[in-house]
Structure 1
């Protein structure tokens, strides 16, 4: 390289130094800008002793670490302010905060702010607004939220607001949480357009009129304390008149019922014609209506099997063709400790439909010889050939564990398959968690839920030990696939089916394919069932069904139950996160917190950081039946909140039992 004279080098050095200083000054000014905005915001407040770390001599953020109390940082930018329980009061300078473009979450809960609601509409990018437990008052402008289309969470509970609930809340497309309880709101509840709610509460206000039909499925506690409210889920309105829609529904129901009756009459009239024919078709009994008993004649005709056809176990003679047809209706048993029966016995049984799941219908069949069985139909099991399918069923049939519902028998046909198992009287965990309350029946207490979680963990661990070649030994773990025996011991069902389910149907319907790793990378792993276990634990703790499981295809992150739990402020867990049916478990707060941690650990989105199943089950087993908060060591709490670990957080947790709402 030729030597450059000094007169040529100096201009280049000067330019290089100039650009370096400009870029450095830009970085510093950005940091100073954020600090200046927060200090100006602090100046508008009173009683700011809790903000003593906010000083000119430092910067709010250091990468992802916060240098100032209550400031949440990401890559050097402020994305949230969490200024809670500080005794703050005075005015809230929203105009200053709008100069923080990355601000997404603002929490000023449990302070002493008074007066009307500030114009938070200036913060159009805000996703979460927490203002509960202050002294705000007055009427909220109807259009205040119109420009805040990113809002997911609005908490205004325990203030003194009056007037109507702002209509602009109806039109927030992402709103999932709305907490307005314990104010003085008046008038009717708006007809909200949102379809999915993670939390909704307007209790203890002065609301009146009929509850909109869009909110009929909410728990009645969400509307308690409004003496002039009526309609589902509260008492019916005395002035209710049947709507046009309800009249149309009644007409349709009557028409369907008459059609069903005519069909039965037609079938009975043609009975003799069909009695002389037989068929090898195994189509399961089709009940006319759910939970309706089906006669033997109807079942034979629906299955295409004539009454003159005898099973091979009951006849020693007959033509060769008859023998082949009989063989085609034989079940393959995988257990030796069950009474033998065949398809003819099932077709003669008194049958009733239990429900329609992801893959097909399930039927309860009470055999004439005594046992009651459940028959599940599968049409999406063409992933393997006959021999591979039969070998896999025999493999599943060899499994023996007190927390697995055993496969008893199966039927193979190219178009569809039947799996036969025992009938469990108490039904599924989903019914016990979500159905009993609607029926006015007692729900599961904490001791029972803990017992179920431990049993599920043991069953899963057994599956992984016995089926090591399967990537996801269960693959479809959810509350409706956990049955409960008479002692409330859990029995896992629909396990080990991934190898035989059609791939396209598995991706559309099975829980394993809703996991974060499949949503992000298109694959499942050995830890996918751990994620399913974590979601089940959170469902049992919160009493909320994971809406993500209802979505077809890849999971919807905005409806992830684990993400919702993490987003709720700790001091709100007692009122928001834990199932209100656990309100009597005051002495078990410690163990509930520990189990919540385990559930979140199992749901870790990063597979590398997620526990393996053995570690998860070990932690579950460590939770004792009697582990009240008074007996929980400080180490437990410190471990649980190690993500923050501040002294203020620790004080908040130690006082958590006093903040719980157990009404």
Structure 2
């Protein structure tokens, strides 16, 4: 009898692993069985646990699963229907994996779902009509998959939807009605690179909460552009490129003052800002509506071949054909005369010149002589309407024609123009910034400044490869840096449910890279430059998370180019103090410069920028990377800058854990290293410029730190 309790105990222990896991855990194990997991992301998903709340990628609230997030782990397989039985599920994030198959309709039985992020997989098939059950859905990102079929009409029942991103799929058909009326909460809309057709819904103009870019590009939308799109917020950029739209471009509200890059690839469109004027028969066209915007080549309207589309167009009338032929003959004659003039004026009989340029009016081939040489810059400044792309690097092998015909995507907007990601036909990716549209008298000043910046070469500074100047358009062409900016890497990106936090070793690598770039600017650049506007948003991250300092000298270039940047703090050492005093009042400086949290306190005095300004900004960036907090910290009902907050924490003798970024505890063994960097940061943000170290001393300290930790 004494053996009975022991046997019962053994029996209980034997049975417990089988019966312990709750129902929700069993559902997740069906997911695990449906997926191949090469990196072991689900290695701790086991029957032996009482519930799944401690499993990798799983978040619970009151012992119920509310989130499943396993991004970028090379998962393959499919999503099982059983996931829909998780009644409290709010967030699903499997972005950037290799999952495939169709979305099971049963998934949408989890009617409390607020975000479904599946971009960067291989899902296919239609989007189930059951999507309409998700009345609390706020984020739907299915981009970069193979979904097809039409967008179900039930999606308009998701009235709380704020982010709808369906780009780079095979969706087709018209948008459901009433798309813009019912989805009134939308803040982000990206339908690019699909096969949507029909007209652009006029009620999209009702979406007053939209922000950033409304991207309808690379589809088959047809008909005219609804004038109601002009009702969107003026800061919204509307991308309608590469569709089948026709008629005149409405000139109202958010549609006004847009460059042609918002409309190219629609051969049927006419009127400003495109070069092809509308005929009197075009609906909504004015009698004379020529555009002075030179971004597209004159006498060279986009063709089907230019944009990779094969369109079924109606035959042209005889009068239209005659007009085209006459126009071509006149254009060819003018080009011939211009070429003859340039050849006789500049090249003479010298056939051995090794200089090259690109013929904007022709096919972008290299020529053996230049109409405008560098030593004839006065001639160029008087003839800036010739629209030449000026390379600043011998490796530049593209011309303006190739640039204009490339695929373009809006990366961002600021007070200093719009930045595009441009992919050339050969795959080369560039970043192109549009500056102001005014100003024609300061070319020589612009040329001097931009060519000085173009000579800067350092692995931690973004390289300026070329520029373009005309009376109405100025472009800067840079290397494209693929991994976003440091601000997003520290704090995450708006609209994303989750992000991968930076480890301490990566943060230290970024800190050192920024320091190296600043040392080069301060000590080895020809003019010993000052950046003047250093902050995480203009530190870009490369393939291996190496930092690249960007936007150097941008404010001055925009000012010369005739733009009106909202923040002209990109000052260089050559700028005179009295020029700043004329352009900004002390109160404006305080609001625009010091208000960012990155500028040195002495900037309020509007003195000549010094390298110690960059040291202070760098110190704030170090503090931001250590604490994970923004440069302006909310404390109760008041705000203070990050430097003041750190000083407050030191005075209050707060523990280090209260100061560190919450994502850093896993690197607790680096505590001494973190404290050492914190001390370097505090030295950089000293209130007295004279007591701040030079960037050379900062870099030496970081190098010694790395050596001692090895």
Normalising by structure 1, we get a TM-score of: 0.49
Query: Computing the radius of gyration over CA atoms, which structure comes out larger, 1 or 2?
Result: 1
Taking structure 2 as the reference length, the TM-score comes to: 0.46
